[in-house]
Amino acid sequence: MTDDAAANLDEQTQKQMEELRNEAKQAPGVGKLESLQDFANAEFGLEQTGPSAATAGTSSSSGSQNTFYKKTMTLTKQFSRLRKCRRDGNCFYRSYLFGMMAEMCKNVGFRKHIKAILAQSLSYCESAGYDKFALEEMHEEVTEIVDNLFPDDQTGELDISKVEQLFQSDDLNYPICFARCLTSSFMKHNKDDFLPFLTTHDTVEAFCMSEVDPLWKEADQLQIQALASYFKIPIRIFYLDQSEGDACTVHEMLFNESGGGGEEDSPTAVINFLYRPGHYELLYV
């Protein structure tokens, strides 16, 4: 392939990615609660429509859909609802932030715990090598959002509707960017825990620059481990894959200590995710 052909292919790929992101923006960042069974029927069952239905006739696609449908239906014995998340490469970070803020609505101790972590988060990123001035505006926006949603004088349970409205109406690029910086910072502060698992990069710094920091880069196992470990918010991921059986493979990250600089242990409910190739949704009982 000539240099001109390669450049043209790259330009076409970038254009396609931009079109997909623009299409994804038509959906809310995090949707309203809906029936998990209805979701399974629409996405993988007889009612499927749209792009996912276009390839449903092929044998490989049909097999995947059938497997995903069975595993999702098995999940309905444990969960009854889910929230769809925008498919734009930021879905894990966005849904993680939503799950965190949803729990802050219910748990006053956890609310204080997260605020304490965020108060130290800018210096944490700076100590990992980030330019403080480059992150200050992001940090200020995150702090402002949290302070507006969770005023210190509100000591009871809060209505989640304001959190829902925020995630349905705003792209939240700054909070997502800052979550990515926290993910990178945790990896850089704990290089020995992550370096052995790098397969495409020689250093943690190179991995973070390529796979964590840029918007729209999907989160994989290492990024998930890092962000969950920073905040010490337990998560459980139910994987829709091609493995045998009707049950999802489950991966848990559970913690017994406070995270990222918080001074107190503040137990919180587990955030449950449904994963299908390249995408995360939120699960609810």
pLDDT digits (tens, 9 = 90+) for 39-72: 999 999 855 444 444 344 444 456 678 899 999 9
Please state the pTM of the whole predicted model: 0.85
Instruction: Name which of 193, 240, 204, 197 is nearest 67 in CA terms.
Output: 240
Per-block average pLDDT, block size 10, for the chain (285 residues)? 59 57 73 96 70 42 79 97 96 97 95 96 98 97 97 92 94 96 99 97 98 96 97 95 92 71 58 95 97
Q: How far apart are CA 231 and CA 186, in angstroms?
A: 10
Q: How far apart are CA 245 and CA 93, in angstroms?
A: 29
Instruction: Name which of 141, 71, 63 is nearest 283 in CA terms.
Output: 71
Which residues, 6 or more positions from 242, have their beta carbon under 8 angstroms from its beta carbon?
63, 64, 67
Helices (H), the chain: 3-24, 36-44, 51-54, 59-75, 91-106, 108-127, 132-149, 161-169, 173-189, 191-194, 204-207, 221-231
pLDDT digits (tens, 9 = 90+) for 181-218: 999 999 999 999 999 999 999 999 999 999 999 999 99
Instruction: Name which of 176, 160, 22 is nearest 91 in CA terms.
Output: 176
- What CATH number belongs to 88-233+258-264? 1.20.1300.20
